[in-house]
Amino acid sequence: EAGVAQSPRYKIIEKRQSVAFWCNPISGHATLYWYQQILGQGPKLLIQFQNNGVVDDSQLPKDRFSAERLKGVDSTLKIQPAKLEDSAVYLCASSLEMNTEAFFGQGTRLTVV
Partner 1 sequence: GDSVTQMEGPVTLSEEAFLTINCTYTATGYPSLFWYVQYPGEGLQLLLKATKADDKGSNKGFEATYRKETTSFHLEKGSVQVSDSAVYFCALSDASGTYKYIFGTGTRLKVLA
Q: Which residues bind partner 1 (CB under 8 A)?
A: 4, 31, 33, 35, 40-45, 48, 55-56, 91, 93, 98-99, 101-107
Nearer to partner 1, 27 or 41 (CB): 41
Q: Give residue 57's region: left, alpha or beta (phi > 0; psi -120 to 50).
A: alpha
Nearer to partner 1, 27 or 99 (CB): 99
Least distance to partner 1 from the beta carbon of 45, Å?
5
Nearer to partner 1, 19 or 93 (CB): 93
Least distance to partner 1 from the beta carbon of 17, Å?
26
Least distance to partner 1 from the beta carbon of 4, Å?
8
Phi, psi of 28 (to 5 degrees): 90, -5
Nearer to partner 1, 13 or 102 (CB): 102
In contact, 13 and 113? CB cutoff 8 Å: yes
Rounded Cα–Cα distance for residues 43 and 55 (Å): 18
CA distances from 97 to 47, 65, 101 (A): 15, 25, 8
